[in-house]
Amino acid sequence: MFALVDCNNFYASCERVFKPSLRNKPVVILSNNDGCVIARSNEAKKLGVPMGAPAFQYKALFEQQHIQVFSSNYALYGDMSNRVMQTLAPFADEMEVYSIDEAFLQIKGLDAEALLNYTLQIRKQVTQGTGIPVSIGVAATKSLAKLANKIAKKFPEKTGHVHVIDTPQKIEKALKWLPIEDVWGIGRRYAKKLRAQGIQNAYDFTKLPEAWVKQHLSIMGLRLQQELKGIPCFELEQPQTKKHITTARSFDTQYTDINLVKERVVTFATACAKKLRKQETVANAIMVFVHTNAHRPDLPQYAKNMVLQLPFPSNSDIELAKYASIGLEKIFKQGYAYKKAGVIVMDLQPSSQVQLNLFQNSNPKHRKLMQVMDQVNDAIGVVKVKLGAQDKDRTWKMRQEKLSPRYSTRINDVIHVKA
């Protein structure tokens, strides 16, 4: 059986772990630069705060309804996610970390009653061990487990946040309850096409001829249909090495000076380099892009990108920053106010499979230097050892006016308990 464990309102729950006074109060989390709402507690949803709501447009509502607003604290959320996944791992024969707040577990050898008790135990252990409440859906396929999880979340009073679909009768009832557009893997375009065919819910979808589904929704659509019938088609997936890595951010203000933009581009290149080292890969090409603020039609608009083929594969901060800077200098134009830039490293390969070039190769001294830099920065918890081209005081950062402390990753933010 597959169990999908999904953290409830994950970002809001992370904030509540270290600030219990927020429980049962409306909470929203804002995107980079405090732009728009990316996460909401159930209380905030009931007050009419939509996903993606521009923060400035809802500022009055936030104040009137005493909605607690936080900037995205990804260091905290990432650490809490790791704690949840580490707690889940011993309970599963196999496990797939599906997203920052979701994981599929494969559980074998338990009958229906034992399975329910086991998953209730999992929920209790995660909630007690991390402070993060979770909902769990269990079924014979990943798609049905996703559906069971929806039911567990939708009807917590009846399910206790755990729902098991283990009989044909339960499968049919669940499929008839789920609207077609809410089926995992059915996008907006396919939902519209299916609605035009009179398909209202997941149950209707399972009754379609297989040939029609394969023709109009591809082989993946056919596998999804089989999954909803209770026939496993999707196995647990192991983490895949990324084929490219992107680091991009909107600026806290508009930049017209190339030196200010270059500092950001160099910082983005070093962030990509560290991610390359973490997954033990190197890049053979790098793209740099910049663009102005599309939301300011009163200003001149410009957007440009450039791909540079590296003379040798590398994951060195120094080398990637050098070529990112070269790319920026080629595409930067004076007279524009830049709002965003980014770096993408591409054409990745394992660092253990790099072939030496006869004429030019990555500096072998950089490998040890990068290793020491990573160790120091990881130990401190923030990036303190940087390139000279970066701002040592971190002046150029995202607007995060409502950022909570990094309780679990920064020593100075650890909660003090008076006893």
- Whether 301 is in a domain gets the answer yes
8 Å CB contact between 45 and 5: no
* Residues 79 and 196 both lie in one domain: no
90, part of any domain? yes
pTM comes to: 0.75
- 175 and 209 share one domain: yes
- Please report the sign of the dihedral spanned by the C-alpha atoms of residue 405, residue 407, residue 410, residue 413: positive
> What φ, ψ does residue 174 adopt, rounded to 5°?
-65, -40
Domain boundary among 94, 118, 137: 137
For the chain, the average pLDDT equals 90
Q: How far apart are CA 32 and CA 55, in angstroms?
A: 11
Q: What's the CA gap between 283 and 191, in Å, rounded?
A: 39
Query: Does residue 143 fall inside a structural domain?
Result: no
What pLDDT digit, counting tens, does each position of 267-324 carry? Answer: 999 999 999 999 899 999 999 999 999 888 899 999 999 999 999 999 999 999 999 9
Q: Are residues 195 and 255 in the same domain?
A: no
Rg (CA), the chain: 25
Count of structural domains, the chain = 3
Asked if the structure places residue 250 within a domain, the reply is: yes
**CATH number where 262 lies:** 3.30.1490.100
Structure tokens at 50: 């939509």
Domain at 204, CATH number? 1.10.150.20
- DSSP code of residue 392: T
Decide if 30 contacts 72 (C-beta within 8 A): yes
User: Tens digit of pLDDT for each residue in 167-218?
Assistant: 999 999 999 999 999 999 898 889 999 999 999 999 999 999 999 999 999 9
User: Which of these, 267, 270, 229, 218, lies nearest to 393 by C-alpha position?
Assistant: 267
Average pLDDT over residues 132-144: 96
Other beta carbons within 10 angstroms of residue 251's beta carbon come to 20
- For residues 252 and 178, state if they share a domain: no
Same domain, 38 and 133: yes
User: Would the CA dihedral through 259, 264, 265, 267 be positive or negative?
Assistant: positive
Is residue 215 located within the same domain as residue 317? no
Range of the domain at 132: 2-137
One domain, residues 201 and 262: no
Confidence check: pLDDT of 10 > 70:
yes
238 inside domain: no
Nearest Cα neighbor of 368 from 261, 255, 277, 291 is: 277
The answer to whether residues 263 and 371 belong to one domain is: yes
CATH at 101? 3.30.70.270
What tens digit of pLDDT does each residue of 79-101 get? 999 999 999 999 998 999 999 99
Q: Are 219 and 310 members of one domain?
A: no
79: in domain: yes
Asked whether residue 240 is domain-assigned, the answer is no
On whether both 177 and 275 belong to a single domain, the answer is no
Q: Residue 54: what pLDDT? A: 92
pLDDT of res. 381: 65
Question: Do 267 and 350 belong together in one domain?
Answer: yes
Residues 262 and 373 in one domain: yes
Check pLDDT > 60 for residue 395.
Answer: no
Whether 108 maps to a domain, the answer reads yes
The residues facing 255 across adjacent strands are: 338
